[in-house]
Amino acid sequence: MKQSKSRVVLTGLGICSPLGIGVVPYWNNFLSGVNVLKRITSFSTTEFGCRHAFQVNERDLINNTRDNTSQYVSRSNKLLLVSVRTALTDAKIKNPVGEDVAVLTALPHGNWNFMTDFHRKLVVCGPDGVDPMAFPSSLINYASSYISTAYQFKGPNITFASGIHAGVEAVNFAASLIRQGHVTTAVVSGVNVLLADIWAQWSLRNMLCSSLKKGSTGIFDARRNGFLIGENASTLILESAAVAERRKARVYAEVLGGALSFGKDRRDYAYAMETALHNSRRSYSDIDLCVLNSNGLKHMDSEEIAAFRSIFKEGASGVDCVAPKDNNGECEGASGILQALIGAKCISGRILPPFSSRKYNDPRAAGGIQMRYGSRTKTIKYVLINSFDVDGGNAALLLGRF
């Protein structure tokens, strides 16, 4: 390792996912293309065209959650706690209680069910009709506060609720805090859970995939137009390179730079990608792998591919891509963190995962980008990560070998 105070590295990865709890089981199942899409049973979907989602197994969650009976701990916080704990274990950070650690969480919808239930009771029953113990769970910043309280972390505590791209936004912000010397360590997470109200909103906006039969088609299938929701909590441990070197930590990757933009077409996507490359002092020719945002919404996916081709030009066909939302679903706030986790594992493990877990993809719909249906060994130095929200918020992130 090269000693440097300003460099930021990833030293721990954690995850609570339908594909596995902990980075090792998750990664093995992800590389194998395991399909965990299931019919929704937690609420009725009879009025909706889409009835399947990627859901964390309730028994697995209970077995990995210490406080699984409290009525005041939301499902999203349970997933989050498991993810953070596995990340700290993976980073070999022992007894972190009380450390000056920043906690940043991407959670676009907050604890929606707790918020709506609390405020509905407040309006209907008045102040005497609500449980004051339920109030903290109704706050949008409760997820980050929950983690800081659990570990008594004393650093900045922030929740990002900007949209699907909130995870990458949180990583970029955390890296800036470390580079500027405010903290030396940051716990950066993203969470998404299956909620009936949010499901109904996506369905009414015609965003969900209703053309699937048991999830048989891939993201770039001509029959596909819409995404499938995925439950997920993913966590990254960011540290200054100097601290990581001092404690002889394993480094997965370096956070080189990122960028934000707003807009819904290829120019806006390309701007975020190009600016991330510029801020990282890298060129498109350096990129070995692009972790795509593509989730099954035809217009967004085609615009992303067009932006990708406009940047990489004639070299586009030589850049490997992966579309992880094909067998993870659209994990919203957790998506960007999950994509960064995948990018970091590719760099550290020198492995290229399958483009997709399904073979029902049309190369023409994917703009001719490379499609592989098996993993292979490859040295990967630089990974570009795209995270674009359906309402126009965009973020890009560049990871590199340290």
CATH (one of 3.40.50.2000, 3.40.47.10, 3.30.530.20, 3.30.470.10) for 8-246: 3.40.47.10
- pLDDT for residue 101: 94
- pLDDT for residue 318: 83
Predicted TM-score (pTM) of the model is 0.91
- Reading the block at residue 29, the tokens are 């199942």
Domain ranges of the chain: 8-246, 257-400
* Common-topology check for domains 8-246 and 257-400: yes
- pLDDT for residue 114: 59
Q: Is the pLDDT of residue 215 over 50?
A: no
Torsion of CA 97, 99, 100, 104, to 10 degrees: -40
pLDDT tens digits, 299-351 = 999 999 999 999 998 888 788 999 999 889 999 999 999 999 999 999 999 99
Q: What's the mean pLDDT when you consider all of the chain?
A: 87
Strand partners, 317: none
CATH number, span 257-400:
3.40.47.10
pLDDT tier for residue 169 given thresholds of 50, 70 and 90: very high
Q: Give CA–CA dist 284/217, Å, rounded.
A: 31
Q: Is the pLDDT of residue 97 over 70?
A: yes
